[in-house]
Structure 1
Amino acid sequence: MVASQTEEAYRELRSRILALRLRPGESLSERRLEGLLGVSRTPIRAALERLAQEGLVRREGRGYRVAPLDLDELAEAFRLRAVLEATAVRWAAARRLQEAPEAQALLKRVEEAVDLEAELALATEFHLALARLAENRFLVEALSRLLPQIYRARFVEALSPEGRAQAYREHQRILELVLQGEGEEAARLVTAHLERAYLRLRESLERSYRGLLALGAEVRP
């Protein structure tokens, strides 16, 4: 029972943090979270410890708070992400795969997503599915820990329908290149794709900086 409540509390808190419904820098008291989630302190405490391991919350004295958005950390995260994903597609292409059912199905779901939160979550899962094609669990684990640091910042990005369509086409092309065994071209495209994503996100964060501060969010330039 406690294990299932811990998982439920973890998933709900993680979802709220990633979607910025819990603001960067916001204090997370166990008493408040009891009322918010409807579970006792034991599963809440376990969920917070798990989120702390992921870097989404930080210990502060006897309590926790949501980790701030740090623009320098975001830049570091994107640099590492580009290295990991470029390596992943090179290794995946070398396997000469005929198909990639999980990644292909996720692309279809991205295309059919009806709201931004669902689309972002599915696009993130697509990148992980692409990495899994490399068949290296350490690479996938590293990327799994890194992506949440980037994901929540995406909610301040005003991405146009044209920009979202371009991102989708690039996802399609990267997967095509992997299945064609074109590892170097796939690596080049995924690196360029992530560079563009980072620049758009950085610009959006800088434009939204004062507004985020006004909402009580902690953002570090």
Structure 2
Amino acid sequence: MDITSDTHSQHISQQYNQDLETLKTQLMAMGGLVEKQLQEALSALLEGDGKLAARVRDNDASVNEMQLRIDEECVRILARRQPAASDLRLVIAVIRATNDLERMGDEANKIARTAIDLIDAGRIPQGSVEIRHISEHVRNMLRDALTGFARFDTDLALKVVQEDASVDAEYTTAMRSLATVMMEDSRSIGGVLSVMTVLRALERIGDHADNLAEHVIYLVKGRDIRHTPIDDLDHEALRQSGKR
């Protein structure tokens, strides 16, 4: 059975309703923090702001702490409530989502550390056009995946899944272009390698956003589409039904 945002507010126990709502709220808060970390890491890199990059690096522990707190809440619900059906899918989806968000936080931290290295070396990152372009796509994917989770919106989730292929293609093109730059000018190797590190981090964040979208589809439709090629998906069956 498909679920909607109202499905988890129909239990006799008001405390159970509150527990599930708190779980979703905590996940959205973690997602918001990861979005902020990514935005600030990119700003630090492109604007040469060492203090901002250091703040992102130092705040990485906050993302990890949120994951542990949410996981503990999930374990508590599993032990005390023994959820079934859509409630169980919600708890499982949240556990999976926090893992992906934590990994995104790690990648944002990697971008911040790269920014610090470039700033300390007095280098301006080459490939900033590629970084800006791909980062815009990735940030949109993350935002849409989180919104899809909050609204139980499979249409938005499918959009994210489809967008991931575009990001992968852009990433491949950018890496080839940067490799050409290195071959033509050996003095650029150090800076270009740093940019490649950033692009790889962004590509990985896009992958994790894609995972988040897949968790939304699992939550709403009860279908695990991980490892299923996008061309093999039954898109019509996965689309939103009964939209209000």
**TM-score, shorter chain, exceeding 0.5:** no
Higher strand residue share: 1
TM-score (norm 1): 0.31
Higher helix residue share: 2
TM-score (norm 2): 0.29
Larger Rg: 2
